[in-house]
Amino acid sequence: MNFVMPDFIPAAAEIFILAMACVVLLADLFFGKTNRWLTYFLTQASLVGAAAISAWLILNHGGDIMLTFGNMFIRDLMADFLKLVVYLAVALVVLYGRGYNALRGLDRGEYYLLVLFATLGMMVMISSNHFLTMYLGLELLSLSLYTMVALDRESARSTEAAMKYFVLGALASGLLLYGMSMIYGATGTLEISGVAGALHNHMALTPVLTFGLVFLVAGLAFKLGVVPFHMWIPDVYQGAPTAVTLMIGSAPKLAAFAMAIRLLVFGLFDMATHWQPMLIFLAVLSIALGNIAAIAQTNLKRMLGYSAISHMGYMLLGLLAGIGVDGGNHGANAYSSAMFYAIVYVLTSLASFGMIILLSRAGFESEELDDFKGLNKRSPWFAAMMMIVMFSMAGIPFFIGFFAKFWVLQAVVHAGHVWLAVFAVMMSLIGSYYYLRVVKLMYFDEPAEDAPIAAAPDMRFLLSVNSLAIAALGLMPGQLMSLCAYVLTGGQ
């Protein structure tokens, strides 16, 4: 058997991140105790360098599809674009969490190392064209996140959350692997494009394939955090240090979206009549439970956890609307609306958890709803920023969150699922209550304390830019939506 040297250019960004992770490890080992800023700087430099490589690939190769490592790794326009958004999200996570971690003794080299390995896992997931590559990227991301949740070894709450996350995550990985093995048995290939070819040519064993599809969707649902595989979300969001919750609740959602698109749309599209009802079931339960359960929460992180469940339900609406009840293909608009929704959610999630970190200080976690009472009197500017974030999450016009929901629901209606769109609108109205409750506490209640907001100038500035971007994109959402459609169609 002749060994064929793979083309390393499509995976240049991944190779760079891996090399820089080794550099960060060595730098922390030799200089970390006295120069903690060095590991932070190298981490941000790694993300900037990877972004430059991905941008270079877009400029030089555009919509070209590049396969390497025996067709296990794919480089296309969608992959490079999603990676750029991941770099931006992770860079903000590291910047927002730096001061928080420093005050709690968590600003250690392993935090930055785990962030880079989690980023590498997301990148591999986004560029997977093979079940094994997908699984390796997923496990690299998952194991990094399990460890990050337990980073505060002195906190019993964090340790408990990490154990729950690990046990349930291992179960979900088992389901996913079992589903992949069934699909391999039915099609004779682990390559995603090969599975699509086998289905298209009617060369697959349908009963075994359907059985495997059920397990595959179950594993995927856990990674998205949708009902009934949602049990870990509220506990992990509340139990993890807020800087880690910020990481879990943002960039990995993009990797999960890419995983869903590659597996269900690019690989198993000819089985859409089987997986579409499953997604409808998951979406309906997630939107209902997420919005209703969030109302009863007094902890803001836990409330945002249930909110994340409902938002992932809305994103699933975009994925399931690719095929209409009449059998028509509505894919381009539906899938681009789902990508748009995922990106918008990541932006708003970064800002919401960033505000929690902003109000936290040494010995005090600003994660209860009552901690936001009277914020307008303490800081009118950041009260306004938080109001923008809450309005966007609630889907109030004319913030970007409104257009995210609008385009997803429009795709659902075009696909013929009018009842589903009506249900989603009603649940959105119910869900707006717990977002507006935060605004009411900030503007109409007396502050419980008058402690000044202590945060680094760079965090204050970027958190403001993050929040204002949510408002600005709401005034011109068409450009981002067009960009999502452009990258999904390969630049055509």
In a domain, 119, yes or no: no
Domain that holds residue 424: 268-492
Please give the backbone phi and psi of residue 454, each rounded to the nearest 5 degrees, phi first: -105, 110
In a domain, 314, yes or no: yes
In a domain, 138, yes or no: no
H or E stretch covering 74: strand 73-75
Q: Quick one: pLDDT at residue 89?
A: 94
In a domain, 11, yes or no: no
What CA–CA distances, in Å, run from 5 to 2, 8, 426? 10, 9, 55
In a domain, 441, yes or no: yes
In a domain, 389, yes or no: yes
What contacts 245, CB < 8 A, 6 or more positions away? 236, 237, 238, 301, 353
Dist CA 238 CA 435 (whole Å) = 18
In a domain, 350, yes or no: yes
In total, how many domains does the chain have?
1
Whole-prediction pTM: 0.93
In a domain, 420, yes or no: yes
Q: What pLDDT tens digit does each residue of the chain (492 aa) get?
A: 466 777 788 889 999 999 999 999 998 888 766 777 888 899 999 999 999 999 999 888 877 888 888 888 988 899 999 999 999 999 999 999 888 888 887 788 888 999 999 999 999 999 999 999 999 999 999 999 999 998 888 888 888 888 988 988 888 899 999 999 999 888 888 888 888 888 888 776 678 888 889 999 998 898 888 888 888 888 899 888 888 999 998 989 999 999 999 999 888 888 888 888 899 999 999 999 999 999 988 888 899 999 999 999 999 998 888 876 665 666 778 889 999 999 999 999 999 999 888 888 766 677 888 888 888 888 888 889 999 999 999 988 888 989 999 999 998 998 888 999 999 999 999 989 999 999 998 888 887 777 677 777 888 899 999 999 999 988 888 888 888 888 888 766
